[in-house]
């Protein structure tokens, strides 16, 4: 057998990757054996592939998905440093969010009353006010509220940061707004629009994104302080308030995220909840 023809078992030992993982990488086109025996089906790798295997293992160890690993390695081969830097920054944000989540878990479990601590929140500044029309760049999807919202925000930010919009001096003029058109109180099976207030002549490349004006309305507004996961409880209280005060909802509710979860602790997150009501 040629020196540069390494059986999968030996390659597995050399790279510390299981045969199952190597089969998976082969199927995804991420690490395809250099040769395959047509009769036996045996897979053989080349010495040069050890480097790629080690990089795959290291990147998955950092939490990158296999699709992201493929993008990183392809960008490395093409010398696209900005692409790699962007992916690394996104992964770093995800790690920080997970660290924050684990710290919250530790704090809750260490408290005298974990169940009380888990659902702690405050609702303040209940008021009925006029909401002005708002020019935004927005996108809309269906799915679990917590899953689709973050993805949509990222797409909107990327669109605003495109070279065309940067050159046109397009600016973000407010904080993220989400509008829920349907769904249950747990945030499942929602039809969600996520919007970013902007100024300037916007160029939109993504067909799922549009520039529009959110209509103004008269709304019951309340400030929620606490983790996003407790927002369903806040919505329940707002709906109870509407019933108790004979107020009729007149349009989909909105959430306005007034600070950044990457910059403040979960318990300090402030969200304005707006329920349009009839005059």
Q: What is the pLDDT of residues 39-70, one digit of tens each?
A: 777 888 999 999 999 999 999 999 999 999 99
CATH architecture of 119-276: Alpha-Beta Barrel (3.20)
Q: What six digits make up the tokens of 89?
A: 């920054």
Model confidence pLDDT, tens digit, residues 177-236: 999 887 655 555 688 999 999 999 999 999 999 999 999 999 999 999 988 888 988 999
CATH number of the 6-79 domain: 1.10.1660.10
Q: What is the pLDDT of residue 188?
A: 58
Average pLDDT, the chain: 88
Q: What is the pLDDT of residue 216?
A: 94
Percent pLDDT > 90 in the chain is 56
Q: Is 249 exposed, middle or buried (0-12, 13-18, 19+ CB in 10 A)?
A: middle
Percent pLDDT > 70 in the chain is 94
Nearby residues of 59 by Cβ (< 8 Å), 6 or more positions away:
68, 69, 72, 73
Q: What is the pLDDT of residue 119?
A: 67
Whether this prediction's pTM lies above 0.85 is answered by no
């Amino acid at each position: 057998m040629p020196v540069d023809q390494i059986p999968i078992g030996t390659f597995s030992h050399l790279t510390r990757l299981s045969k199952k993982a190597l089969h998976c990488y082969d199927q995804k086109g991420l690490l395809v054996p250099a040769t395959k025996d047509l009769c036996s089906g045996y897979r053989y790798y080349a010495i040069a592939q050890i480097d790629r295997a080690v990089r795959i293992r290291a990147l998955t160890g950092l939490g990158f998905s296999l699709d992201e690993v493929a993008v990183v390695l392809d960008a490395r081969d093409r010398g696209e440093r900005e692409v790699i830097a962007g992916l690394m920054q996104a992964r770093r944000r995800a790690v920080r969010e997970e660290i924050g989540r684990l710290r919250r878990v530790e704090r809750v479990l260490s408290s005298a009353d974990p169940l009380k601590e888990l659902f702690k929140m405050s609702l303040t500044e209940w008021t009925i006010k006029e909401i002005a029309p708002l020019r935004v760049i927005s996108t809309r999807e269906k799915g679990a509220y917590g899953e689709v919202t973050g993805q949509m925000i990222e797409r909107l930010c990327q669109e605003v940061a495109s070279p065309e919009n940067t050159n046109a001096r397009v600016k973000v003029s407010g904080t993220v707004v989400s509008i829920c058109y349907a769904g249950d109180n747990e945030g499942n099976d929602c039809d969600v629009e996520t919007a970013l207030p902007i100024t300037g002549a916007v160029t939109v490349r993504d067909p799922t994104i549009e520039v529009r004006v959110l209509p103004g309305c008269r709304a019951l507004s309340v400030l929620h302080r606490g983790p996003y996961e407790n927002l369903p409880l806040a919505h329940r209280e707002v709906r109870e308030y509407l019933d108790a005060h004979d107020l009729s909802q007149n349009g989909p509710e909105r959430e306005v995220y007034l600070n950044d979860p990457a910059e403040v602790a979960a318990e300090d997150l402030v969200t304005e909840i707006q329920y349009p009501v009839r005059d």
